[in-house]
Amino acid sequence: MKVLITGATGQLGSSLTQMLKMGTSELGGIPGFLEAAEIEGVDFQELDITDLETVLAYTANSKPDLIINCAAYTNVDGCETYRDDAFKVNALGARNMAIAAEQIEAKLVHISTDYVFAGNGTKPDNEASICHPQSAYGTTKYLGEQYVRDFCSRYFIVRTAWLYSPIGKNFVKTIMRAGRERGALKVVNDQIGNPTNAVDLAYHILKIAATQEYGIYHCTGNGECSWFDFASKIIEYAGIKATVSPCTTEDYPSPAKRPAYSALDNMMLRCTVGDEMRNWQDALRYFMDHYDGE
C-alpha cells in the first residue's frame, strides 16, 4: 500500500503523515491495511499540481494506491486578489489529481471547505445541502469538488472547517500569541462554525479511505460556537492572563465575505463509518494540555 499526500507539510498533511508512521492516534488505531503503508509526501516544490502533464507523469511513475489531496490556496482574502492563482490550485489542481487518480486506478481523498455554502442559514448544512459559495475561495474550492466528481470514480470529498494543529498558522496559535502579547483581544461574535482538531480529521480520513463508501463527507468537530467563544476557550485552556471581548464582523471588514453561519452536520460519517469526531471543546482542551509550542 502506497499513500501519496499533497500539501504534506501543512496542518492536515503533517497530521496524516505522523498518524500513518505511528499507526495510531489519540483517538485510536488506524485501519490495519494502512499500518505498513509507504508514505510519499509532496508540496509544490516536488509536485506542481496545477500542471496536468506533470501530475500525470509523477503519479504514473509513483503509482500510489491512495492519494490524499491536502494542497490548497487557503488565504481567503488573497483569493479575492489573486483569483487566477486560487483557480489554478483549488480547481485545476483538484481536477488534475482526479484525472491522475482515475488513470492509475487509485482512490482519491480531496479536502474541501465549509465556504462552499452561502453561510446564511440557521441549521448546520449536511451533505445534501445546496452549495452557494460567496467568495473566490469558496467558489474555486466548489469547482474543484465538481471536477473531482466529474473525473474520478473512486473519490471521497471531505469538507472541514476552522482547522488547527501544532503546525503552521491557525487561529489557536494566533490567539495564544496575541493574548500573551496584548493582554486584551476583540474577536467577532457573529460568525458561527465548528472548530476542528487536525488529529480528528486525519483519523476519520483514514477510516473513510479504508472503505468503498465513496461520496461527500462533512468532517468537523461536534458542536458549534462563534470565533469569540473559540478564542475565549483558547485563552482559558492555555491559562493566559488576557481578556477577550466580542465585536462584530463590521468592526473588521475584509476583502472576502465570511459566512455568518457555516456549521456543518457530519451526516455521512454517522451513516457510514461512524462519527467519532470529538466535541470541539474536548478536542481543544486535549490539544492545549499537550501543546508544547509557543
Q: Exposed/middle/buried for 180, CB within 10 Å: 0-12, 13-18, 19+?
A: middle
C-alpha cell at 289: 494540555
The H-or-E segment that residue 218 falls in is strand 215-218
Q: For residue 199, what is its C-alpha cell?
A: 488529529
Nine cell digits for residue 243: 481578556
Closest CA to 219 of 31, 70, 43, 10: 70
Q: How far apart are CA 253 and CA 66, in angstroms?
A: 41
Number of H helices, E strands in the chain: 11, 14
Q: Kindly report the backbone phi and psi dihedral angles of residue 10, in degrees, each rounded to the nearest multiple of 5, phi listed first.
A: -80, -175
Residue 137 is among the residues annotated as catalytic for this protein = yes
The one catalytic residue in 137, 164, 237, 261 is: 137
The residues assigned a catalytic role are: 137
